[in-house]
Structures are given as structure tokens and as C-alpha cells.
């Protein structure tokens, strides 16, 4: 694992992984504005997993994984010889680290490995509601996924080996046709760098980039951010809101006989319109639905509920002794009205000290044993945390 953890920095604290900038300065100067290269951002960085362990993850169905292969340079026709395969894979189908022109991408590694989740603390000056995942890519010489753009911000950390990054902010958006990947047809780099272990490159959305492994055993960590489009967000929020409503059967005793059965009667259309309008959320309900969407875990998230289920007494004893932490796959968010966890609203009436404790848990993703001992006397909070523990949403051992 990393030779040390990097704590969440304070907004005005200068940190090496932002090139000596504070989070406040970085957000004002670079976030969604322009790229930033930081040499030796993480000195003596040691990845939490080996390349063999990453490839082993690809043989399981726990996480989403992809294998991308390309033809050697000069042997592809207009850049068209690319293949894409989705995991899980058989071990014998995966390339050796010294084989050329391949890369494996594994999403949501932070939801499975606590050390990877802890690494994300370095970037948690950006609201958790925007943070998506830690993706790990490993590649052989020449491996990459071609020149492309992303709709989201990303921090690219070189974990092992070397990778060349080429970027362009002015480019033609046309893509190579008939490919399983969205690769730019015409790409001319405006800047390029070779990244060594510990180096970091931040890219805002819609900056064209191409990363190519220079060495064998190349590993890159990508900290990506959620960037839902308004239509996708509306669809998710609408679904969340509808899930809270009770269904009612349709009744139309006023319906009249018609000799034009293909025509929708105006009274019928008007009544159905009124019924649908009644399901529209008010502003408060819509905000709550959006907050629940933002707290939803990754689709691949798996929560291991402890067996047997802990008793209140047993849970409190362990929590007071060991502290508690969010499961790596859990999301706990809050606003001025409520708490939201893993797509659900946490509705519990609690004293101010208990609310403060939950906010601490949301902000730091863990409470020490001393913190637990100070606040656990609140019965509503104790019961709330017990239900989280029984669902596998928090860990306490």
C-alpha cells in the first residue's frame, strides 16, 4: 500500500500534490479551467496493489474491467485496429506485463480496497458528491486507449513505470468510425510529457489526451469525478422521487361511448395530465431526490452484511473499542435538512451532538474510538449506526 496516507487538506493548506497550491487556489485557477502537471506530487509513492493483483481483480465479477488492445504502430489502417473486451476474464486470456500494445482498466477500485479509498482523502477537498472513483490502468509497452476526451475532471497519478501523455485543447471532434472506442480521428498534440512514479497530471473536461505506456509494467491511477448531464440527473432524480409515492388505480366513470375510437377524448387526456402533474415534486422534494441520487453508491458496490447480525450491545462495545469507518463503497452526504446514505435518506431525530457526529463521519469517513465514546450515549444515534452496521455500510472491527 502507499507508504503513507495523505490526509484531506484544509482549504488554505498548501500541499505538494497540487504543486504547492492550496485547494482554494487550485479550484480558483485550474479546476475546470486548464491542465496542471505536478512533478513528484507524491514522493516515494508505493501503489496499494501490484500489477498481478490488479489483473487478478479482472478475473472476478466484483468490479467492471476492460481489456483494450491495439495494433503496433504503423500496422493499423487509419488507426482502426482496436479491440475492446469486457471482464471478467480467464487468467490465461490476460496479457503478460511485457507484452506490447494492451491495457487493462479496472473501475471503482476504491470500493473494494480500503487503502485505495484512503488515498482518495488527498482529493476530498472537492465535495464527495462530485467524487466518482479510483480507476487503475495497467499496460504493456505501447498500451493505451487512444486519443479521446472525457466529460469529467480527472487526476492522473503515475504509480509504476512510465507513461507519455499528449494533450490538445484545440482539436477536431470527429471520431474514427466503426470502433468500439471513441477515438479521435485526427489528433495533434500541443503539449506532451513523460510521467514517472509519483507525478500527477490534472485534466479538466473536454481536453483531448492520449496516454501511452513507455515501459512494461506501467500502472496509472485515475481519480475521476461524477459529471451527470442534466437529462441523466433529471431521470435519476425523477425515479428517486417516484419511488417515494404511492400508486393509485385509475378511475374514469365519466368516460363516454365514442364512434371515433382512434381519437383520444379531451376529458381523458386532461384528466391523465392532471394526474401526472400531481406527481411532480415541489422544490423541497426535488432537492431531496437529487441528494439521494448523489449519495448512490457505484453500481458495482457490494456491501457485506455481518453474520450473525450484531446486537446493539455487541456493536457498541466494538465501536467504543475500535471506532467506526464508512465501508469503502459507502457514500454519506448531508445538507442543512437531512443526511443521505447510499441512495436513502437517513431520517432520525437526534440531538445536536449526534448530528455533529454524523457530519464528522461524512466529512472524514471515520470516527475514532474516543469520538464514538463521546457521542454514542444518544440512543437514536446508536440505533442509526447499528442499522448501518447491520447493512454493511460501516465497519467497526
Q: What mean pLDDT, rounded, does the chain reach?
A: 92
103, 138 Cβ separation under 8 angstroms: yes
Q: Give the fold, CATH level 3, of 312-395.
A: Malonyl-Coenzyme A Acyl Carrier Protein; domain 2 (3.40.366)
What lies within 8 Å, CB to CB, of 77 at 6+ separation is none
Looking at the chain, which residues constitute the CATH 3.40.366.30 domain(s)? Answer: 312-395
| pLDDT confidence of residue 79 | 53
Report d(CA 103, CA 396) in Å as an integer.
37
| pLDDT confidence of residue 76 | 45
Report d(CA 269, CA 316) in Å as an integer.
57
Looking at the chain, which residues constitute the CATH 2.60.120.650 domain(s)? Answer: 16-225
What dotted CATH number matches 16-225? 2.60.120.650
Rounded mean pLDDT, 51-65: 94
Any long-range contacts for 51-54 (C-beta under 8 Å, 24+ apart)?
A: 51/97, 51/138, 51/160, 51/217, 51/219, 54/104, 54/106, 54/109, 54/136, 54/138, 54/219
Q: pLDDT by residue (tens digit) across 160-218?
A: 999 999 999 999 999 999 999 999 999 999 999 999 999 999 999 999 999 999 999 99
| Residue 337 CA, distance from chain mean position | 24
Q: pLDDT by residue (tens digit) across 227-266?
A: 888 898 889 888 888 888 888 888 999 989 889 989 999 9
| pLDDT confidence of residue 397 | 80
| pLDDT confidence of residue 152 | 95
Per-residue CA distances from 38 to 35, 54, 62, 374 (Å): 10, 25, 33, 41
| pLDDT confidence of residue 1 | 41
Amino acid at each position: 500500500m502507499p507508504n503513507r496516507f495523505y490526509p484531506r487538506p484544509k482549504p488554505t493548506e498548501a500541499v505538494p500534490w497540487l504543486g504547492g497550491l492550496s485547494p482554494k487556489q487550485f479550484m480558483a485557477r485550474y479546476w475546470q479551467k486548464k491542465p496542471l502537471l505536478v512533478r513528484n506530487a507524491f514522493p516515494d509513492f508505493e501503489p496499494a496493489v501490484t500489477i498481478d493483483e490488479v489483473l487478478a481483480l479482472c478475473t472476478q465479477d466484483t468490479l467492471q474491467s476492460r481489456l483494450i488492445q491495439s495494433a503496433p504502430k504503423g500496422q493499423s489502417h487509419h488507426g482502426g485496429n482496436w479491440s475492446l473486451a469486457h471482464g471478467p476474464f480467464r487468467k490465461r486470456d490476460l496479457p503478460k506485463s511485457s507484452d506490447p500494445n494492451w491495457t487493462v482498466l479496472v473501475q471503482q477500485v476504491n470500493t473494494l480496497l480500503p487503502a485505495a479509498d484512503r488515498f482518495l482523502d488527498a482529493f476530498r477537498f472537492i465535495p464527495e458528491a462530485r467524487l466518482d472513483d479510483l480507476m487503475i490502468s495497467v499496460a504493456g509497452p505501447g498500451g493505451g486507449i487512444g486519443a479521446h476526451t472525457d466529460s469529467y475532471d480527472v487526476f492522473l497519478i503515475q504509480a509504476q513505470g512510465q507513461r507519455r501523455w499528449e494533450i490538445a485543447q484545440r482539436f477536431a471532434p470527429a471520431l474514427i468510425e466503426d470502433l468500439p472506442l471513441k477515438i479521435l480521428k485526427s489528433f495533434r498534440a500541443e503539449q506532451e510529457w513523460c510521467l514517472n512514479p509519483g507525478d500527477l497530471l490534472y485534466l479538466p473536461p473536454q481536453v483531448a489526451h492520449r496516454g501511452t505506456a513507455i515501459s512494461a509494467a506501467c500502472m496509472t491511477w485515475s481519480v475521476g469525478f461524477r459529471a451527470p448531464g442534466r437529462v441523466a440527473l433529471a431521470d435519476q432524480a425523477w425515479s428517486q422521487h417516484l419511488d417515494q409515492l404511492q400508486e393509485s388505480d385509475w378511475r374514469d366513470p365519466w368516460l363516454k361511448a365514442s364512434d371515433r375510437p382512434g381519437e383520444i377524448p379531451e376529458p381523458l387526456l386532461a384528466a391523465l395530465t392532471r394526474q401526472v402533474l400531481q406527481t411532480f415534486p415541489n422544490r423541497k422534494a426535488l432537492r431531496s431526490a437529487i441528494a439521494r441520487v448523489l449519495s448512490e453508491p457505484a453500481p458495482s458496490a457490494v456491501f457485506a452484511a455481518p453474520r450473525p447480525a450484531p446486537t446493539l450491545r455487541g456493536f457498541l462495545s466494538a465501536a467504543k473499542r475500535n471506532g467506526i469507518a464508512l465501508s469503502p463503497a459507502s457514500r454519506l452526504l448531508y445538507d442543512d435538512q437531512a443526511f443521505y446514505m447510499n441512495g436513502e435518506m437517513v431520517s432520525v431525530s437526534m440531538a445536536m451532538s449526534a448530528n455533529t457526529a454524523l457530519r464528522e463521519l461524512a466529512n472524514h469517513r471515520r470516527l475514532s474510538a474516543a469520538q464514538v465514546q463521546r457521542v454514542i450515549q444518544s440512543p437514536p444515534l446508536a440505533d442509526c449506526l447499528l442499522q448501518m452496521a447491520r447493512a454493511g455500510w460501516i465497519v467497526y472491527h
